[in-house]
Structure formats: structure tokens, C-alpha cells
Amino acid sequence: MAQIKEFSVEEKLASLVSLQKIESKLDEYKILKDEITGLHSRQTRIEEEINGIQEFINQKKEIIKEADALIKKYDKQSQNVKNSREFEAINKEMEMQQLEVKLAEKHIKDANEEIAEKVIVLERAKKNVSSKEGVLKNKKDELDKIIATTEKEEKHFNKLSAEAREKVEPRLLISYDRIRKNYRNGLAVVPVLRDACGGCFNAIPPQRQSEIKQRKKIIVCENCGRILVDDDLNNAVEVK
Ligand SMILES: [Zn+2]
């Protein structure tokens, strides 16, 4: 027969706090990685936009070149006109080409201005990427005190998470996962901070706070449903 181990409520709460802290660490890695991926794709998008504008400028330059060539051609023709009717026709054609040149020049000017703006945005995006990468590096360095690489760390915390999950009884684990999934910050177990729920900041009456401190039963926030622990217990649980 399997030995059934009975945990006190206090032990259960401590297991939950530990699980929460481990999985919050894993959340941090995920958020940071997602952010960096997002910034990288933003940078790529801006680079593509700049390339597109550059192509547009090149097209306009080509149009100017062609129009210039035509103007020269008509200019030469006009010097060899036989009669005035033919001369007028050529003049009209030249005027049209001059307009074409003016229009293309205007488009180039606009496109250049747009590029200048994009370059600023791109520089900003690049700076953002490098600063985020700096944050990631700092985070890594900070945690590298324990293990060499982020991957190893994640593995480590994944392992811890699996272990911590085994220590929480199934019924509680289901509630924990359900609450965690409901909140963007992934917090299912929170301490009481400044007389309020550490998750939703709803005030907690003194009577309820002392019940939480007794650690005799599992108490959830009436407002957000998160599992509440006293700050001392929360601080006592360390995750490494
Ligand atoms: Zn709450």
C-alpha cells in the first residue's frame, strides 16, 4: 500500500508559495524572450519599409532620366523643325516632359523626407533591442550565479516546478492552475501586503488577516479568488 503523507495547511501553503515563485521565474524568462522577438521583428519591418521607399526613389530617378532624355531629344528636333506647326507640337511635348520631371522631383523629395523619419524610428528600435538585450544579459548574469546558462536555468526551474507540483495536492493544484491561467501576471498565490490582497489590492479585514496568519485553512481573496498567504510565510519561502 502506498504511504499517504498528510501535510498540514501550513505546509500546503508553503508548497504553493514555492511553486508560485518558481513558475513566476519561468514567466519572467518567457516575457523577456517574447519582447526581444517582438523588437527584432519590428526592426525587420522598418528595414523593409526603408528598402521599399528606396526602391520608389530609384524608380522616380529613372523616370527623371527618361524624361530628361526625351527633353533633349525634342530640343534637338526643335532645332531642325521644318514648319511652325511641327514646332508647336514638339514644344507641347517638351512642356509635358518638364512637368513629368517636376513631379518626379517632388516625389523624390517626399520619399527622402519619409526615409529620414524611418531612419530615426529604426535607430530607436535598434536602441530598444540592444537595451532589452542588455536587460536579458543582466538577468542572465544575475541568475548565472546559480547555473551557467539561461537554458540550464529554465531546465532547472522546470525541474523545480515539476518537483514542487508533486508536493501540492491535486485538488489544490487544479485551483492553482485555474487561477494562474486567469491572470495575465500568472499570480495565483499572493501575500497580504499593506492590509490588502497582493494580487488585486482589495482591502482585507483584520479578522480575515489574522485567520490567514494562523495558517489553519486555505483562504482565497474574496475579490479576485487568489490564494492568500501572510507576508512572513511568503518571505520565508526562497527559490534557488
Ligand atoms: Zn485579490
pLDDT tens figures, 71-98: 777 777 776 766 677 778 888 888 888 8
Q: Which residue has the cell 523624390?
A: 108
How far is ligand 1, taken at its centre, from the CA of residue 192, in Å? 9
Are 150 and 29 spatial neighbours (Cβ–Cβ below 8 Å)?
yes
Query: Is the pTM above the cut of 0.75?
Result: no
How far is ligand 1, taken at its centre, from the CA of residue 209, in Å? 13
Q: How far apart are CA 22 and CA 162, in angstroms?
A: 10
How far is ligand 1, taken at its centre, from the CA of residue 29, in Å? 25
pLDDT tens figures, 122-167: 777 777 766 766 666 676 566 555 445 566 777 888 888 998 898 8
How far is ligand 1, taken at its centre, from the CA of residue 195, in Å? 11
Alpha helices in 145-238 (DSSP H): 150-167, 170-182, 206-214, 231-236
User: Interior CA angle at 129 toward 124 and 135, to 5°?
Assistant: 125
pLDDT tens figures, 212-229: 999 999 999 999 999 999
How far is ligand 1, taken at its centre, from the CA of residue 177, in Å? 16
How far is ligand 1, taken at its centre, from the CA of residue 165, in Å? 23
How far is ligand 1, taken at its centre, from the CA of residue 230, in Å? 13
How far is ligand 1, taken at its centre, from the CA of residue 15, in Å? 20
Q: Which residue has the cell 535607430?
A: 123
pLDDT, position 4: 52
Q: How far apart are CA 85 and CA 96, in angstroms?
A: 17
